[in-house]
Amino acid sequence: MNLYPILKTIHILSSTLLFGTGLGTAFHMYATHLRGDVKAIASTARNVVLADWLFTSTSGVVQPVTGIAMVIMAGYSPWSSWLVMTYVLYVVAGICWLPVVFLQMRVAKTTAACAAEMVPLPASYHRDMRLWFWLGWPAFIGLVGVFYLMTAKPTLW
């Protein structure tokens, strides 16, 4: 049995989940934030945190496992320039994503408390959302770069 097509299918599906969940939850979180409804933000933040733990984190682990297995099976040098750049971009995306998850958890806790007490959102919430927004961009751009490198496999140096 040829395991490569199975690994490739899992790899593609998990990359779709990783990117799609990230983009979808980011849009939903930001759109809800802009509307300013504290109860809606609390509910959205809670669901975004859940989606990140269920889909993004599991896909984030599956990606390198299946990717490394396919590199070995296909006979690529793990030190090919396009693969090295992929590793760098993936790590950058991960370094940006990890604090985003903790920011989302803090936002969920803050907004739930504000909704329960019927008080306005504090300055710390707005700081967290600004940082969340700006950390999302390098993660997004990094993953777009990874998609390009995976499909084009260019020689970079």
| pTM for this model (two decimals) | 0.90
Give the domain extent around 128. Answer: 4-152
Please tell me the distance from the alpha carbon of residue 93 to that of residue 87, in angstroms, as a whole number: 10
Quick check: is 102 in a domain? Answer: yes
The pLDDT, as a whole number, for residue 36 is 95
Q: Which long-range contacts (CB under 8 A, 24 or more apart) does 71-76 make?
A: 73/3, 73/4, 73/7, 74/4
Inside any domain, residue 157: no
Has residue 17 been placed in a domain?
yes
Once rounded to an integer, what is the mean pLDDT over residues 107-119?
97
pLDDT 10s digits, 25-55 = 999 999 999 999 999 999 999 999 999 999 9
Query: What is the pLDDT, as a whole number, of residue 144?
Result: 97
Q: Identify whether 9 is part of a domain.
A: yes
Q: What are the residue ranges of helices labelled H in 36-122?
A: 38-51, 57-74, 81-117
Rounded Cα distance between 22 and 8, Å, is: 21
Q: Is the pLDDT of residue 1 over 90?
A: no
Specify if 139 maps to a domain. yes
Q: What is the mean pLDDT of residues 103-108?
A: 97
Q: Which residue has the tokens 């590793």?
A: 87
CA–CA separation, 21 and 1 (whole Å):
32
Q: Residue 43's closest CA among 24, 29, 57?
A: 29
DSSP state of 16: H
Q: Kindly report, residue by residue over 135-146, the tens digit of the pLDDT.
A: 999 999 999 999
Looking at the structure of the chain, the number of domains it has is 1
Q: In angstroms, rounded to a whole number, what is the distance separating the alpha carbons of residues 88 and 96?
A: 12
CA–CA distance, 97 with 95 (Å, rounded to integer): 6
d(Cα 8, Cα 10) in Å, to the nearest integer? 5
